[in-house]
Structure 1
Amino acid sequence: MGAANPVFPKFPNDPRKDEARAPAERRRRLAAFLRDEGIAFALVTRPLHIAYLTGMFLEPHERFVGLLLFPEGESLLVVPAVEDVAGDLPVLRYRDGEDPYRAVGAHVRKVLARGDLPGGTGKEIRIGVEEEHLTLARAARLAAGLAREGLSPHRLCSVDGALREMRAVKGPEELAALARAARDTDALLAAWIRELRPGMSEREAVRILERLRDEAGFGPFAFDPIVLTGERTALPHGVPGDAPLRPWSLLLVDVGVTCCGYAGDLTRTYVLVGAGPAPREERQTWERLYRAVEEAQTAALAAVAVGRPYAEVDRAARGVLERYGLAEYFVHRTGHGLGLEIHEAPQVAPDSQERATSGHVFTVEPGVYIPGVGGVRIEDVVALAEAGVEVLTRSPKAWDSVLLSLPPSMA
């Protein structure tokens, strides 16, 4: 049974303090979209979006939960009676065995009866839903619940685009949380490096990340950490296994902790230095790959400016790797938006149609992955403002700083 929890828990390091106005302002913006589009009401059912619009995260499992929002700003949260919901929003609770969709229909009928019916011609009602979340089965139950209250015919309209655009532009409280998540991730990585020992496995290295995160009191991981070594670094999203950390090999780590629900994301690639002489050919190859990726990231960061298409930012990184003859080994986009989800708008990709906008927060993470050799990725989180770009992650990444001499194993 899932109880309601604030999506912005009050961690000791919560940069938001008591910022309670943001969800209400987001609801006002979505209501304005409904008015502009002639939509009678929206029914938001994705828990993440409900959290974004209310400040409360609900995990209903198989039960229905929804946020009703009307063009004039009236809202109603529909939840199972088992949920413990606190807040200023009106709440409609239903018991197991009762039909929440009919309850939604009854409330909508009452609201619409108070004024003119927006949303279409004749008696057609336009309803805003998340087409990427609402299943066919639930859409049918919603239609039946509305029909029982005489609210038909109707037409479903998507609000996904509006929500996506709203979430892409971060407010001050979101920027503060993302900046803190970046700093905490930097601190975790620095502590982790000091605990690495030759011979430990990738899985053991992940367990050290977990322990250090718990000891520091940082937020949950934004995703399962990736630690890969040797030729396995050529797997962009490889799963940590039993491969040991060995001198004169590559080590890739991709990790991020959250703050107040907002994600951090950081990748660094290291060369584990041994006591003996370096294998000359391998070291030259690693340095060439690393400097190419470092230059590609620098070019992408320099290309970021308000109003510029993200496709151009991607081309800046890709162009550097083409000059090095490595473009075929760059198999993913240059970056992705970051927020309540680890991957969200905007997309820094070859086919992106989006333009850089003040308030966007995203990663810049070019990489090359050569089977049988290894891979290099350098990833940082950046925030965009009218004044320029701020890199939120600060972990060292110059070539000399990624040559790690591990202390001897304590075994």
Structure 2
Amino acid sequence: MNDADNRPVADHPFPRFSDQELARRRRAVHDLMEEAGVGHLLVYGSDRSGSAVPWLSEWPVTREAALVITPNGDDHLLIQHYNHLPNARRVARGVEVDWAGPSTMSRVAQLLPAAADQGIGVIGPLRARDHQLLSESVGELVYLDAQYTRLRLVKSDEEIERLREAARFSDLSVAAIIDQLEPGMTERELAAIVEGSYLAEGATNHIHYFATTPMASPDTCVPAQFQSTRRIEVGDILFCEISAAYWGYAGQILRTFIIGADPTPLFVELHDVADDAYDAILSVIRPGVHARDLVNASAVIEERGFTTYDDLVHGYGGGYLPPVLGSSSRPNLPVPDLHLEQGMALVVQPNVITPDQRAGVQTGQLVVVTGSGADSLHNIDRGLGRIG
């Protein structure tokens, strides 16, 4: 069984959750398996996605990772590629770590020769050909992704502290933008400022989305996922969505800045409405509140003649989690029948735009539901900012 070493958590070269926290997660998964009637569980991730693998083993998925869990036996973590094996053996905890061989799913099937009678649960983005191989080799698969998602909705105290650290790194990037951005820089240089602010402390990029456009003739209403060669000029507006990640957890902060000029009346109004919507949503967040109440709280957006493009609110911390909510004028999914619970993490992020979708702003941040309201994990001032 690979526990890396026995040094205290604080002394380890890699971030660590406590033994008690990992045991809590493992118990929750064993209970999930028992409820589903499965004797084995395959937890799968590939191409740096699949949050359940690091949640249970602390190994971040690189090319491919398959974690085979048996409640009364040893758990096995199979990884790709072979040269990742030494690092995985140092980082992963509570599992036997091995190379997956030429075919990951063929190796998984070898570990489950007698599993058909007990049932096999699966969490993660299994490909169709891998599903077929395993079904033919070991029997019917039972997908437990929805049940796993429910496990991730309410965060432990240790998870909240990890989110708080990730939020601090995300704040560093916004502070660096305020300090270092100059007219004439490209959006790509802006991305370099963001990543350079936290890399030396061990954080990595999760997302950095930007929109830059002239306030006098705007042509975009929501931050873009990829940066262009466009140069930022005096009189532009910049709005951004930034998440620095720290070992499986990311912050999320959304801010809007004007560049070297006074804001136009349109952007003042857009941001005033965004601030009002954010404050109204935050004022209703508490345990027991229904998801629809968050949407209803944002009515000021439509009352002022505007709408939204991005999500209004979404769950966070271990994935893009429920509730995912649009405003009343831009619903993207039915409002789920979900009540907030203490310990849930939410991103509140009103992206207020004009109906013609030519102008917009965005503000917001990651918060945690407390016993009496919401606690923001970020410390960068809100409001329409100015650079230069």
- Work out whether the TM-score is over 0.5: yes
Pick from 268, 277, 283 the counterpart of residue 287 of structure 1: 268
Give the deviation of 1:13 after TM superposition. Answer: 11
C-alpha change, 1:336 and 1:268, in structure 2 (3 Å) is: same
Is 2:120–2:140's contact at 8 Å kept on the other side of the alignment? yes
- Distance in 2, Cα, partners of 1:135 & 1:15: 31
Give the deviation of 1:220 after TM superposition. Answer: 0.5
Q: Cα deviation per residue 1:312-341 (whole Å; 9 max; x = unaligned)?
A: 202211x111110113xx123212222244
1:26 maps to: 25
Is 2:44–2:66's contact at 8 Å kept on the other side of the alignment? yes
- Distance in 2, Cα, partners of 1:291 & 1:285: 10
Q: Cα deviation per residue 1:238-280 (whole Å; 9 max; x = unaligned)?
A: 5332333333331212212122331111111112233xxx5xx
**1:49-68 equivalence runs, <5 A:** 49-61=52-64, 65-68=65-68
Q: Cα deviation per residue 1:2-31 (whole Å; 9 max; x = unaligned)?
A: xxx99xxx8999996552332332121111
Q: Which amino acid in structure 1 is aligned with residue 56 of structure 2?
A: L
Give the deviation of 1:287 after TM superposition. Answer: 0.9
2:316 maps to: 338
Is 1:41–1:126's contact at 8 Å kept on the other side of the alignment? yes
- Distance in 1, Cα, partners of 2:132 & 2:362: 46
C-alpha change, 1:331 and 1:138, in structure 2 (3 Å) is: same
Pick from 220, 234, 237 the counterpart of residue 250 of structure 1: 237
C-alpha change, 1:12 and 1:76, in structure 2 (3 Å) is: closer
Give the deviation of 1:96 after TM superposition. Answer: 3.5
Is 1:205–1:227's contact at 8 Å kept on the other side of the alignment? no
- Distance in 1, Cα, partners of 2:227 & 2:250: 21
C-alpha change, 1:128 and 1:269, in structure 2 (3 Å) is: same
Give the deviation of 1:363 after TM superposition. Answer: 0.5
Q: Cα deviation per residue 1:172-201 (whole Å; 9 max; x = unaligned)?
A: 221111111112222321232111222322
Q: TM-score, normalised by structure 1?
A: 0.77
* Count of residues in Structure 1 that have an aligned counterpart in Structure 2: 359
C-alpha change, 1:11 and 1:293, in structure 2 (3 Å) is: farther
Is 1:15–1:180's contact at 8 Å kept on the other side of the alignment? no
C-alpha change, 1:259 and 1:390, in structure 2 (3 Å) is: same
- The secondary structure found in structure 2 opposite 1:234 is coil
C-alpha change, 1:44 and 1:271, in structure 2 (3 Å) is: same
C-alpha change, 1:332 and 1:73, in structure 2 (3 Å) is: farther
- Distance in 1, Cα, partners of 2:374 & 2:313: 14
Q: Does 1:156 align with 2:156?
A: no
C-alpha change, 1:248 and 1:171, in structure 2 (3 Å) is: same
C-alpha change, 1:261 and 1:66, in structure 2 (3 Å) is: closer
C-alpha change, 1:18 and 1:39, in structure 2 (3 Å) is: closer
Sequence identity percentage: 20
Pick from 363, 375, 380 the counterpart of residue 378 of structure 1: 363
Q: TM-score, normalised by structure 2?
A: 0.82
C-alpha change, 1:101 and 1:185, in structure 2 (3 Å) is: closer
Is 1:128–1:157's contact at 8 Å kept on the other side of the alignment? yes
Q: Cα deviation per residue 1:25-52 (whole Å; 9 max; x = unaligned)?
A: 2121111122223223222223431221
- The secondary structure found in structure 2 opposite 1:31 is helix
1:361 maps to: 345
Q: Cα deviation per residue 1:218-246 (whole Å; 9 max; x = unaligned)?
A: 50011144252322541343533233333
Q: Does 1:165 align with 2:150?
A: yes
Q: Which amino acid in structure 2 is aligned with residue 20 of structure 1?
A: D
- Structure 2: where are the runs of 5+ without partners? none
Aligned residues: CA RMSD: 3.1
1:348 maps to: 325
